[in-house]
Structure 1
């Protein structure tokens, strides 16, 4: 593996061939991401679930349906890598734990993220989804995920801390109706401005 990359395509090829975590992955390695240097929006999420692992398509599940709704875009736009990059904290399905999927493997961020982010010169908005992405992209903090999302204006308009759009978070959304009432319309307007200048 090179220590630096001058071009994005060899980097993406290397990421897709990565087997660093193979012994720890219950279904074996299958890195799932979406990437092109022209992208203006980055979705920085957690790790693929089982369905995403099976299909090889990021956010190809109910979480993706809700995220696309929050963004106000259709599947065709969402899966256009020249518009939208998707770089999860872990590229492969980590397996199941007691209360859902296991955390993203740390090797991905340590090995690949700085290379990938360096190849996104046009990035104008990063959607930072879930606690592991919050820690990486926004810095470690004593704030809870809810506090970070509540203070979203501190990061806007370049970054937006978000809860995960998973159906597992329905209770959080019911307890925090301001997110869909206040934040989502602002997000939709910004996404529209970036994708339709």
Structure 2
């Protein structure tokens, strides 16, 4: 067992999700020292937590469509690392899920990044991942950040969240599917061949 697997098991067996909903929730993430694509989202949704499978909901289906990747490749941790900013469901807010709790990234993100030395493509999905990784390099809004995706590429692909709640954003910003997604699909295909 390598150090990445040991770290993953340490996180999963930690009490970082103690007090989360549902009460018996375990951290939901997956990675390997061999992972080539890194997906950093905000936090698992309640459906993903209940099933124990990351991105196991409508958002995940759309993300896999955007990447043009099979479920088999998406859930192969030697190909794709899934590391959200918060490892459990943060709860419901007035207009969607609550923001990710900062404790997971603060305690574990640096250690995880040290283990992921074979990453060729990193997807920063949503404002929380972009704020953490881009810091002062990000734009004032998520739309501006994603609109300027080429200034972060090839280090990062900056993306909106694939939630159905963002359907209006996607309709208003059709350049996302026209300009960014073909490049993303090409990169994923190259890496997963």
Please give the alpha-carbon distance, in whole angstroms, between the structure 2 residues aligned to 1:122 and 1:193: 15
Which of residues 61, 66, 80 is equivalent to 1:65? 61
Question: SS where residue 73 of structure 1 aligns?
Answer: coil
For 2:169, the equivalent position in structure 1 comes to: 172
Which stretches of structure 1, 4 residues or more, deviate above 3 A after TM superposition? none
Matched residue count? 190
Could you tell me how far 1:81 is from its partner in structure 2?
0.3
Deviation, 1:84, is 0.4
Q: 2:97 aligns with which of 85, 93, 101?
A: 101
Alignment match of 1:155 (pick from 141, 152, 156)? 152
Q: TM-score, normalised by structure 1?
A: 0.93
Cα distance in structure 2, aligned partners of 1:115 and 1:161: 22
Unmatched tracts of structure 2, length 5 or more: none
Match of 2:43 in 1: 47
- Check whether the contact 1:31–1:91 (CA below 8 A) recurs between aligned residues: yes
Which residue number in structure 1 is paired with residue 78 of structure 2? 82
Unaligned runs of 5+ in 1: 1-5
TM-score scaled by structure 2? 0.95
Distance in structure 1 (CA, Å) of the matches to 2:27 and 2:173 = 33
Q: Distance in 2 between matches of 1:8 and 1:82?
A: 11
* Deviation (angstroms), 1:26: 3.0
Distance 1:40 1:47 in 2: 21
